[in-house]
Amino acid sequence: MARYFDVHPQNPQPRSIAQLTALLRDQDALIAYPTDSCYALGARLDSPTGGDRIKRIRGLGDRHHFTLMCADFAQLGQFVILDNSAFRAIKAATPGPYTFILPATKEVPRRLAHPKKKTVGVRIPDHPVAMALVRELGTPMLSSTLLLPDHEEPLTEGWPIKEELDHVVDAVVDAGDCGTVPTTVVDWSEGYPEVVREGAGDPGRF
């Protein structure tokens, strides 16, 4: 049964954030948590089970691009290769509801990078709860939009998420409705921006 955390959306309680990161770090937990685009599933970066659990819940194949939820641009830069144009454009767009697909560095566990392209998604959220979690954790969080195989839109509220996923996640973070529109995804892996999904972020800037 998943633990349920009622967290303030603007000023998340430090005790709750500490308890959640302890679950991620010490118990290899998988959590459902709010972001600036919609709810997401999250596990610690080096989780031996998190990626497979996310794929089972979402019905994903092996070529799914996972996202690394980062605390800041300095952290993001450790896990992907950026040229000057990507550096400037991505820095200007973060934090915000964008996911960027870039070549992964050796810091990214091999099982999390795209098996053929060796790329990974990265993003910096503009949401107090998500930011508090990744800052407290100290490393990026392995993440994926909480969109279930039989749903047309992501789940948006904590308690229905707990009822739906009670036996497949370890904790649910409720900070109120955060919307149903996922991030705008920009693939920069070939050295130029290609918008591959239009979402919450303005695609016009790319």
- Structural domains in the chain? 3-198 (3.90.870.10)
Residue 118 has pLDDT above 90, yes or no: yes
Residue 156 has pLDDT above 90, yes or no: no
Residues 6 or more apart in contact with residue 60 via CB below 8 angstroms: 54, 144
Residue 153 has pLDDT above 90, yes or no: no
Q: How confident is the model over 23-39, as pLDDT tens digits?
A: 999 999 999 999 999 99
Residue 122 is given by DSSP the state E
Average pLDDT estimate for 95-117: 93
Residue 108 has pLDDT above 90, yes or no: yes
Q: What is the pLDDT of residue 157?
A: 87
